[in-house]
């Protein structure tokens, strides 16, 4: 198991990436996998022959994405699902119990689900939206991580956390959501360093994503921002590749976001005004 940065670079430059060999037979839990990016991430792992456990709230939706059909068709070693609402931390704990019972351990914990942060629009002081976003989009991630920690240490596994540009740069109209993403960045970047100092071989990959063309994203912001959405399939491929190679982070789309992240430290005012131009205020206010 390799996970120092130097070894990681060495590996990705000099060794061909052989995803199927590295992932076949591994046990993977993907949260929020009934639709969107999580669904695509499940398909990526399925293509490489992993054992999959999918979770979300809607059982019917999960069953269509789920086992017998697409994941197994794509080559998954097995595919199961468990229904869970991440607004309830006990329910989050139970998902990990299911992983222990059904898979006998865990190699990849993919934290991807998102919900509960209210609609896109000006912040009206809605404390319930802040609380539920912090629970669904932050606290449940931490709970899943805590509950899975023993299994992940045993397997020298990986945590893949889906964040956003809005977890690195403040953005209007999604305050409750952004707060949870910033919290994730703080928790998981700190956890990564702590694990390294404790010589625990468990990788933490944070995915910083831009605008992705999932049905829900297009529906909620399609007429409110003038940005071009990026394909969810390619997004999932990049995320899984970085996770398997145990990279510290993956930025997608790289050339769309990296300049903004650099500009943020250097000229934050200019960067904000560049981004402001993408909002269609007459459809928002």
Ligand X SMILES: *[C@@H]1O[C@H](CO)[C@@H](O)[C@H](O)[C@H]1NC(C)=O
Ligand Y SMILES: NC(=O)c1ccc[n+]([C@@H]2O[C@H](COP(=O)([O-])OP(=O)(O)OC[C@H]3O[C@@H](n4cnc5c(N)ncnc54)[C@H](OP(=O)(O)O)[C@@H]3O)[C@@H](O)[C@H]2O)c1
**61 is an interface residue for ligand Y by CB under 6 A:** yes
In whole angstroms, what is the distance from residue 115 CA to residue 117 CA? 6
In whole angstroms, what is the distance from residue 146 CA to residue 3 CA? 21
**225 is an interface residue for ligand Y by CB under 6 A:** no
Smallest gap from residue 20 Cβ to ligand Y (A): 24
**162 is an interface residue for ligand Y by CB under 6 A:** yes
User: Given the complex with ligand Y, which of 155 and 178 has the nearer CB atom?
Assistant: 178
**91 is an interface residue for ligand X by CB under 6 A:** yes
Q: How many other CB atoms are found less than 10 A from the CB of residue 156? A: 14
Q: Which stretch binds ligand Y (CB under 6 A): 4-12, 21-29, 204-212, 244-252?
A: 204-212
Partner in contact with 94, chosen from ligand Y, ligand X, none, beta carbon below 5 to 8 Å by kind: ligand X
**37 is an interface residue for ligand Y by CB under 6 A:** yes
Pattern of binders to ligand X over 195-234, x per CB under 6 A?
A: ----------------------------------------
Smallest gap from residue 14 Cβ to ligand Y (A): 31
Which residues carry out catalysis?
Answer: 177
Q: Which of 46, 134, 191, 212 binds ligand Y (CB under 6 A)?
A: 212
Residues within the interface to ligand X (CB under 6 A): 88, 90-91, 94
């Amino acid at each position: 198991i390799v996970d120092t940065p130097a070894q990681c670079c060495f590996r990705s430059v000099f060794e061909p990436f052989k995803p199927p060999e590295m992932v076949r037979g591994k046990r993977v839990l993907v949260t929020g996998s009934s639709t969107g990016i999580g669904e695509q991430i499940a398909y990526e792992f399925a293509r490489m022959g992993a054992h999959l456990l999918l979770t979300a709230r809607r059982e019917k939706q999960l069953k269509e994405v789920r086992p017998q059909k697409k994941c197994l068709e794509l080559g998954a070693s097995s595919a199961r699902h468990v229904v869970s609402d991440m607004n309830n931390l006990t329910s989050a704990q139970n998902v990990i119990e299911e992983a222990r019972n059904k898979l006998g351990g865990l190699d990849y914990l993919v934290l991807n689900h998102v919900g509960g942060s209210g609609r896109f629009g000006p912040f009206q002081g809605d404390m319930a939206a802040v609380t539920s976003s912090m629970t669904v989009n932050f606290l449940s991630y931490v709970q899943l991580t805590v509950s899975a920690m023993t299994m992940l240490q045993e397997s020298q596994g990986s945590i893949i956390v889906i964040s956003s540009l809005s977890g690195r740069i403040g953005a209007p109209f999604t305050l409750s959501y952004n707060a949870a993403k910033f919290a994730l960045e703080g928790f998981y970047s700190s956890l990564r360093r702590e694990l390294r100092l404790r010589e625990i071989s468990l990788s933490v990959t944070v995915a910083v994503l831009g605008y992705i063309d999932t049905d829900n994203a297009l529906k909620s912001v399609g007429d409110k921002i003038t940005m071009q959405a990026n394909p969810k399939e390619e997004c999932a491929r990049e995320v899984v590749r970085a996770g398997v190679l145990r990279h510290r982070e993956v930025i997608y789309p790289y050339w769309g976001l990296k300049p903004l992240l650099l500009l943020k430290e250097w000229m934050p005012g200019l960067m904000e005004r560049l981004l402001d131009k993408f909002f269609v205020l007459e459809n928002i206010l």
